[in-house]
Amino acid sequence: MAQEQVVLVDPQGRILGSQEKMQAHRDGALHLAFSVLLYRERAGGREFLMQQRARGKYHSGGLWTNTCCSHPRQEEPLEQAGIRRLAEEMGITGVTRLDDIARFIYRAELDNQLIEHELDHVLVACVSGLEIVPNPDEVMAHCWWPEEKLAQAVVETPERFTAWFPQVLAYVQEAC
């Protein structure tokens, strides 16, 4: 089985090559990523589908984050990669379109002496009636989190969330 690769990019998003995923995270190499955040509209307001990362993940285990996130494969369109990871992480197969609303670069030193340095694309979709069957190797819990309470939790208890999630939420709130 081939080792998983990430796509290395410059700050403008130009592809520079690829590198084995864990090595890129040890080196802190800038690479392409995406964060999917699904939401639904309710009478009480908007709710976001959040996941709590499985404790066994290679970093940020046990932290809350957006619906799913990952890295596109070489020459894989971002939207297709997001739809693939929705199925792999959350068991969600009913989403056929994601909108790429923003991108940002962040760098965070994480547990296990790893560094996330990503050009992260924010992919969103408004959904209803989803069947959610999370992969226990990826996700330990999930919930629909009301927007106001989520925004408050990010400010009051940022240690409960992944390093990238506050920026993802800010872009989604601004654009949607």
25 known member of a binding site: yes
Catalytic residue status for 118: yes
Please state, in angstroms and rounded to a whole number, the distance separating the CA atoms of residues 171 and 173: 5
Quick one: tokens of 52? Answer: 């709590």
Ligand-binding annotation for 116, yes or no, is: yes
Which is catalytic among the residues 69, 79, 138, 147?
69
Q: Is 68 a catalytic residue?
A: no
Q: Annotated catalytic residue: which of 79, 118, 138, 147?
A: 118
- Do the annotations mark residue 89 as ligand-binding? yes
Backbone φ/ψ region at 168: left (φ over 0), alpha (ψ -120 to 50), beta: alpha
Task: State the DSSP string of 111-126.
Answer: GGG-EEEEEEEEEEEE
Residue 159 annotated as binding?
no
Binding residues for Mn(2+): 25, 31, 71, 116, 118
Instruction: Extract the annotated binding site.
Output: 25, 31, 71, 89, 116, 118
- Which are the catalytic amino acids? 69, 118
